[in-house]
Structure 1
Amino acid sequence: MSRKQYSIRRTYIGRLPEGADLLDSITKICREEGIKIGKVTAIGAVKKAVVAYYNQTEKKYYNHELNKPMEILNCTGNVSLLNGQPFVHCHITLADEEGKCFGGHLMIGTVVFACEIFIEEYEGEILERVFDESSGLSLWHPKTILME
């Protein structure tokens, strides 16, 4: 086991246009800028959202469509490579007009009302996702495990 250190190479700060798909837009920026390792954070609001829950027994995602305006309380994720392409993995927490919270894995179909994003690109060994049979997910390569 060897722990790797990373340093920030570049930081992108900006907002997404109203009507943009949140996940698709972040992915597009990462691909256009060649970001292979990074961290994503976002705040703002959405017109509607799609979040997913991963059923660990069935090894399957279940989408939940939230067809109402909501605040983005937190959206955090990472960028790594999957099949040689930048892949954005984000989780999001949203609140409705009553303060009720919803969250999960950010999916395509989440439409921006207003959104400010930060994307930090890192220098260091590339993080690559590989299929992990025990979880049924594409996770970072086993060499990135921090503790045995």
Structure 2
Amino acid sequence: MSRIHKVASRSLHMGKLKRGDDLLGAISVICRENNIRLGRVEAIGAVEKATLGYYDQTHKEYDFFTIDAPHEITSLIGNVSLRDGVPMVHAHLTLSDEKGNVKGGHLAPGTIVFACETVIEAFEGLAFNRIIDEDTGLPLWQL
């Protein structure tokens, strides 16, 4: 059964990341520094290279791959919740190369910013905590 909780928007944090930043790391720092414990994230821009993951549902583990070339960020969407009491950013990234070919997956450390504009919306309400879900092996929200 689905569980949905009503939350209210508290604040918006908009800005740009620095060239050379680790994309996931920089967004995570913003969330920690602003005590964003519950929220959503989006971004556009470009990366110099990327590390993305695909979750193997059979083996219950991530397979990571590197894209070692410049790409446009066509979409980054994610959320912020708590894992072990610390804000955790969970995001998926879609990238396009110079011919419009698209690749995507779970955003991982090692994705290096060329230029990036971010919007982080912080919510008020119950903090969503992540714990390992025995059925999937993933750290999912415990509601």
Matches within 5 A, 1:102-141: 102-141=103-142
**For residue 61 of structure 2, what is the amino acid of its counterpart?**
K
Cα distance in structure 1, aligned partners of 2:4 and 2:44: 31
Find the counterpart in structure 2 of residue 146 from structure 1.
none
Find the counterpart in structure 2 of residue 75 from structure 1.
76
SS state at 1:29 partner: helix
Matches within 5 A, 1:1-148: 3-141=4-142, 143=143
Cα distance in structure 2, aligned partners of 1:92 and 1:136: 21
* TM-score (norm: length of structure 2): 0.97
Deviation string, structure 1 residues 60-104 (Cα, Å, up to 9, x no partner): 101110000000000000000001100000000000011111000
SS state at 1:129 partner: strand
Cα distance in structure 1, aligned partners of 2:138 and 2:70: 30
Instruction: Tell me the matched-pair count.
Output: 142
Q: CA deviation at 1:33?
A: 0.8
SS state at 2:110 partner: coil
- Runs of 4 or more, structure 1, over 2 Å off, are none
Long gaps (5+) in structure 1: 144-148
Cα distance in structure 2, aligned partners of 1:3 and 1:104: 25
SS state at 2:136 partner: coil
SS state at 1:25 partner: helix
Long gaps (5+) in structure 2: none
SS state at 1:125 partner: coil
Cα distance in structure 1, aligned partners of 2:84 and 2:140: 12
SS state at 2:19 partner: coil
Q: Percent identity?
A: 49
**For residue 119 of structure 1, what is the amino acid of its counterpart?**
I
